């Protein structure tokens, strides 16, 4: 455990940021999985789920949780799956 006050504060900040980032990443993954499952099941709200998943991927990329190329690749794959 750090002894210096600024290091203690930074450790607390890192824990909070880690929790926030983990939650955001989990939300993105859940949205993508929901889209994939709906597409596989042939649900009628696939386009809405695609929009939600695409927005979640964009948000994660803008926050720096995933790289821009990964976001583009994921969205491209989802779009191709939607069109299929």
The pLDDT of residue 22 is 97
pLDDT for res 4: 96
81 is written with which tokens? 């799956």
**Mean pLDDT to the nearest integer, 76-81:** 97
**Residue extents of the structural domains in the chain:** 5-83
Please state the pTM of the whole predicted model: 0.87
Query: Considering the domain 5-83, what is its CATH architecture?
Result: Up-down Bundle (1.20)
pLDDT in tens, 20-69: 999 999 999 999 999 999 999 998 999 999 999 999 999 999 999 999 99
């Amino acid at each position: 455990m750090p002894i210096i006050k600024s290091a203690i504060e930074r450790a607390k900040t890192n824990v909070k940021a880690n929790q926030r980032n983990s939650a955001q990443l989990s939300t993105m993954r859940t949205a993508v999985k929901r889209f994939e499952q709906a597409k596989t099941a042939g649900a009628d709200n696939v386009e809405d789920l695609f929009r939600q998943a695409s927005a979640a991927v964009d948000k994660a990329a803008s926050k720096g949780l995933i790289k821009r190329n990964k976001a583009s690749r994921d969205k491209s794959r989802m779009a191709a799956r939607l069109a299929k």
